[in-house]
Amino acid sequence: MSTTTPPAASTALSERFRSVRQRTLALCQSLTPEDMMVQSTAEASPAKWHLAHTSWFFESFVLREFQRGYKLFNPDFAWLFNSYYQTFASFPEKRLRSSFSRPGVEEVLRFRTHVDEAVEALLDGNPPAEALERIELGVNHEEQHQELILTDILSAFYVNPLRPVYRTEEAEPRVSKRDTEPSGPLRFLRFEGGMHEAGHAGDSFCFDNELPRHRVWLAPYALAERLVMEDGGYRRPDLWLSDGWNAVQDHGWSAPLYWSSESGEWSIFTLRGAQPLSRRKHAPVSHLSYYEADAYARWAGYRLPTELEWEAAAEGRLIAGNLLDSGRLMPVPASEMADIDAPGPSSGSSGERVALLPENPAGSFRHLWQLFGDCWQWTASAYLGYPGFRPLPGSLGEYNGKFMSGQMVLRGGSCITPRAHIRASYRNFFTPDTRWQFSGIRLASS
Ligand SMILES: [Fe+2]
C-alpha cells in the first residue's frame, strides 16, 4: 500500500495527466459559457459540469487521501459535482445539472487549476503506488468525459433551432483516398473459434470490468469486414425485440438519431454541421440504439457479434482508425482512414506491434475495417461481471460494477474516443435504448 513508485513511471504519468487535462480544455475552447450550460437530454450533462466533475474526481479520490495538507477548493463541490458515488457523498439529481449557473465557468476553471497544481505537486513528490493508480484511473475517467463532452454538445446543438456548428475547420492530417472502398456485397472474415482467453492481460491500465482474464470457448463465427452503411427495417414488427418495438412506437423512430428530411432530402447533423446523406452514404450508420442494431441484423439475415467474439477478433490488432486523434469528429468511409493505420500501440497484451496479416485462407481481403474508431459496435452481450469479477475497493467500487443490470456491451471506440483510451478488452455499456452515443453495427454470422 505504501510502496513508492519509480520516478520514470511518475514522470510518464505526469505528462499524460497534463496532456489529458489540456485536451479537455481544448475541446471546450469553441464553446460559449451559454453553450456550456445546456443539458439537452436526460442522458447528457452540461460541458461546464464535465469540466468540474473531472476535477472533482481527482480531488475526491486522489488529493483528499494522498496529498498531505490538501485544502479543498470549495467544500460544497464535494457533493455538488459528485455524479453517482452513493458511499462518498450525496449528490443533486442529474436533471438539475443545467441549473448550476453558479459556480460560473471562471470559477470552475480556477477549480481545475487548483486541482492540476496539487496533482502535479503530488506526482513530483514520489507518491505511493496506490496514488499513482488512482491518478491513472482519473486520467482514464477524464478521457471518458471528453467523449461525453462531444456527444453532449452534439445533442445540445441539434436541439438548438440554429443548429450551430461545433467545428468548421478541416480535419488534419488530410488523407489520400485509396481504391480500396469496400463495395458490393458485404464480405465476412471467418474465425475458427475454439478456446480463447478474454479480458485484459498484462500490467498496463484497465478498468475493473475488464478483469479477470478467463478462458472462453467460441464456436466458429464470422464478422463483417466493415460497419453497416445502410438503414432499414423500421416498419416490420416481426424483426424487433418486444421492448425494441415498444421503443419504436413510443419515440416514433423511423431513422437513426440526427437524421432529418426536408423536401425529401435527408441530412445528418454532425459536429461539423448538417451533412447531406447523399454525401455520407459510404460512412457507417451511427446513433442507433441496441434495439435498432439488433432489428437491422435480423432484417439483413445476420446477428450481432457477442462481445467475446469481437474481442477474440480484435486482440493483437493494431489500434488504428478514425478515433478522436484523427480530428474527423464523425464516422467516415473505411477507405478514408486507410492511410491512417499508422504506428501506435497494439491492442495485444504483450504491447508488441502486430502486423495486419490475412486471416482468411481464401485471402481476398486482409483487414477488418473500422474495428477501432468510427462507431462503438453494439454486441449481443449483456453487461455482466466476468467470472470472479471483483469491483475496486471502497467508493470506487461504484465506478462500473453497480451498472451490471439492464445494459448491453459496446466495443471498439468511436470517432471521438481518444486513441490512448481504447483497447481490445475495453467494455463500454449503455441501456439498449441509448442513441446519443456514436453507436453502430457490425454484423456477425455463425
Ligand atoms: Fe464521471
Interval between CA 138 and ligand 1 midpoint (Å): 9
> What share of the chain has pLDDT > 70, as a percent?
89
What is the band of 186 on the pLDDT scale with cuts at 50, 70, 90? confident
Interval between CA 324 and ligand 1 midpoint (Å): 19
pLDDT tens across 212-263, in order? 999 999 999 999 999 998 777 788 889 999 999 999 999 999 999 999 998 8
Interval between CA 151 and ligand 1 midpoint (Å): 14
- What mean pLDDT is predicted for residues 46-64? 98
Interval between CA 208 and ligand 1 midpoint (Å): 15
Interval between CA 83 and ligand 1 midpoint (Å): 6
Interval between CA 31 and ligand 1 midpoint (Å): 21
Report pLDDT for 7. 67
Q: Is the pLDDT of residue 5 over 90?
A: no
Report pLDDT for 366. 53
Interval between CA 53 and ligand 1 midpoint (Å): 7
Report pLDDT for 185. 77
Interval between CA 236 and ligand 1 midpoint (Å): 38
Interval between CA 37 and ligand 1 midpoint (Å): 17
What is the band of 339 on the pLDDT scale with cuts at 50, 70, 90? very low
Report pLDDT for 184. 62
Interval between CA 423 and ligand 1 midpoint (Å): 20
What is the band of 34 on the pLDDT scale with cuts at 50, 70, 90? very high
Q: Is the pLDDT of residue 364 over 90?
A: no
What is the band of 342 on the pLDDT scale with cuts at 50, 70, 90? very low
What is the band of 172 on the pLDDT scale with cuts at 50, 70, 90? low
Mean pLDDT of the chain: 90
Interval between CA 115 and ligand 1 midpoint (Å): 16
- What mean pLDDT is predicted for residues 385-407? 96
Interval between CA 319 and ligand 1 midpoint (Å): 25
Instruction: Give the whole-angstrom CA distance, residue 437 versus residue 427.
Output: 14
Instruction: Give the whole-angstrom CA distance, residue 419 versus residue 431.
Output: 24
pTM for this entry = 0.92
Among 137-146, 179-188, 199-208, 347-356, which stretch is predicted with the lowest mean pLDDT?
A: 347-356
Among candidates 255, 283, 268, 281, which has minimal Cα distance to 370? 283
Residue type, 310: W
Interval between CA 128 and ligand 1 midpoint (Å): 24
Instruction: Give the whole-angstrom CA distance, residue 164 versus residue 123.
Output: 40
Among 3-17, 327-341, 354-368, which stretch is predicted with the lowest mean pLDDT?
A: 354-368
Q: Is the pLDDT of residue 81 over 90?
A: yes
Interval between CA 55 and ligand 1 midpoint (Å): 10
172 to each of 100, 321, 324, 327, 328, how far by Cα in Å?
A: 36, 14, 11, 6, 8
Interval between CA 411 and ligand 1 midpoint (Å): 19
Our CA angle for 326, 156, 136, nearest 5°, is 50
Interval between CA 284 and ligand 1 midpoint (Å): 28
Interval between CA 310 and ligand 1 midpoint (Å): 26
Q: Is the pLDDT of residue 340 over 70?
A: no
Report pLDDT for 134. 98
Interval between CA 163 and ligand 1 midpoint (Å): 27
Interval between CA 82 and ligand 1 midpoint (Å): 8
φ/ψ (deg, to 5) at 13: -70, -35
Interval between CA 85 and ligand 1 midpoint (Å): 9
Are 297 and 380 in contact, with CB atoms under 8 Å apart?
no
Interval between CA 267 and ligand 1 midpoint (Å): 32
Interval between CA 67 and ligand 1 midpoint (Å): 21
Our CA angle for 50, 55, 60, nearest 5°, is 120
- What mean pLDDT is predicted for residues 96-109? 97
Q: Is the pLDDT of residue 410 over 90?
A: yes
Interval between CA 222 and ligand 1 midpoint (Å): 35
Interval between CA 198 and ligand 1 midpoint (Å): 26
